[in-house]
Amino acid sequence: MRAVVTGAAGFIGSHLCAYLLACGDEVVGVDAFTDYYEPAVKERNLAPMMSSGAFSLQRVDLLTADLGVLLAGADVVYHLAGQPGVRPSWGAEFRTYAALNVLATQAVLEAARGRRLRKLVYASSSSVYGDAASYPTAETLRPQPASPYGVTKLAAEHLCELYRSGFGVPTVSLRLFTVYGPRQRPEMAFARLVAAAASGGSFPLYGDGEQSRDFTYVTDVVTAMRDAACSDFTGVANIGGGCRTTMREVISVVEELVGPVEIVRLPAQRGDVRHTGADITVAAGAFGYRPRTRLAEGLAAMVAGHGSPSEVASVGQ
pLDDT tens figures, 45-72:
999 999 999 999 999 999 999 999 999 9
Q: What are phi and psi of 307, to 5 degrees?
A: 90, -5
Cα separation of 52 and 138, whole Å? Answer: 40
Q: For the chain, what is the mean pLDDT?
A: 93
pLDDT tens figures, 215-235:
999 999 999 999 999 999 999
Integer-rounded Cα Rg, in Å, for the chain is 18
- Its sign, for the CA torsion 264, 266, 270, 275, is positive
Cα separation of 317 and 218, whole Å? Answer: 9
Q: What are phi and psi of 278, to 5 degrees?
A: -100, 130
**306: confidence class by pLDDT, cuts 50, 70, 90:** confident
The answer on pLDDT for 309 being more than 70 is no
Q: Which residues are catalytic?
A: 149
* DSSP codes of every residue in 18-37: HHHHHTT-EEEEE----SSS
pLDDT tens figures, 188-206:
999 999 999 999 999 999 9
Cα separation of 278 and 237, whole Å? Answer: 10
**314: confidence class by pLDDT, cuts 50, 70, 90:** very low
CATH class of 2-181+217-241+277-292: alpha beta
C-beta of residue 216 within 8 angstroms of C-beta of residue 178: yes
**Sequence-ordered strand ranges (E) for 126-261:** 171-176, 179-180, 202-206, 212-214, 216-217, 235-239, 244-246
pLDDT at 312: 31
